[in-house]
Amino acid sequence: MCLQCDSRRGFLRLALGGAAAAFAAPMARAAQIQFASDRVELPLIMLDPGHGGHDPGAIAPDGVFEKNITLASALELRRALERTGRYRVAMTRTTDVFIPLDDRVSDAMAQNAALFLSMHCDHLPEADLRGASVFTLSNDASDTLAASIAQDENGGAAIGNPMAGASPQVADILASLETRATKIGSQTLAVDLQTSFKGIVPLLPDPKRAANFAVLRDPSTPAALLEMGCLTNPLDETRLRSAGQRWKLAQRITLAINSYFDNDALRRVAG
């Protein structure tokens, strides 16, 4: 082999090696960035299937229990949310057991949930009333129907002070700040649910309501209570018992939660 040819080949190897290194460096940086983003913890959604165990909840005229529908619906929603890859999902119960209301709240607080959704079915005095409704927390009920539903769902439960351990002054300040931010988040979630349901899932007249629900009293977690329909209405009961209709409901709730977090990200960037 001539010295000139060998010299040219050596130069070519150096050139190719430099190009490969130049190409590999940004690829490695991209992989590091992706790895870092993968380590960011996904927001936790806490689903709360209402009632359970010795507490059947509302009972339809033909004997269907609310507790069974809420659990089946929450499990379907968990699958839909996990399929997005955007969230971690926890549930206050995954079987037919009774969980006290204050334990449901403390569980969400302990796990630092980003969002809390309690799932229920209505039992209304008029059989022709049908459709879903969304409740947020308020000391004063938005109407007599909301007050009656909250009384049924609470069952006399009382929630302890979530700021225990802080000085009275600090606790008051923290509670005030958290409650204001949480209230805004809760109302945003309620609007997103109502918007997502419109034209797809039947809604009660004036579906956005408020009352003093025990499971919504965590001052740190935006929360809503969803009444998915009325077991006293034959059309709603048929819809709620249908696996296909529960799947459709889960898709609409997932879209609402996606919208909530998309808008929340925009608000944080703007802030």
Residue 218 near residue 160 (C-beta atoms within 8 A): no
25 or 154, greater pLDDT: 154
Average pLDDT, integer, range 124-147: 81
User: Are residues 146 and 23 part of one domain?
Assistant: no
Write b or e for each residue in 33-55: b if 16 or more Cβ atoms lie within 10 A of its Cβ, otherwise e: eeeeeeeeeebbbbbbbbbbeee
User: Are residues 153 and 206 part of one domain?
Assistant: yes
For 225: left if phi > 0, alpha if psi spans -120 to 50, otherwise beta; the answer is: beta
Q: Count the residues in the chain.
A: 271
What per-residue confidence (pLDDT) applies to 171?
A: 45
| Residue range(s) defining the domain that contains residue 21 | 1-40
User: Are residues 259 and 172 part of one domain?
Assistant: yes
User: Are residues 73 and 200 part of one domain?
Assistant: yes
For the cut 80, the answer to whether the pLDDT of residue 187 exceeds it is yes
The C-alpha atoms of residue 71 and residue 51 are separated, in whole angstroms, by 9
Residue range 237-261, pLDDT digits in tens? 999 999 999 999 999 999 999 999 9
User: Are residues 220 and 113 part of one domain?
Assistant: yes
The C-alpha atoms of residue 264 and residue 211 are separated, in whole angstroms, by 24
User: Are residues 94 and 206 part of one domain?
Assistant: yes
User: Are residues 158 and 29 part of one domain?
Assistant: no
Average pLDDT, integer, range 209-220: 79
Average pLDDT, integer, range 147-172: 53
User: Are residues 131 and 14 part of one domain?
Assistant: no
The C-alpha atoms of residue 66 and residue 230 are separated, in whole angstroms, by 10
What per-residue confidence (pLDDT) applies to 126?
A: 86
Domain count along the chain: 2
Residue range 49-77, pLDDT digits in tens? 999 999 999 999 999 999 999 999 999 99
User: Are residues 163 and 55 part of one domain?
Assistant: yes
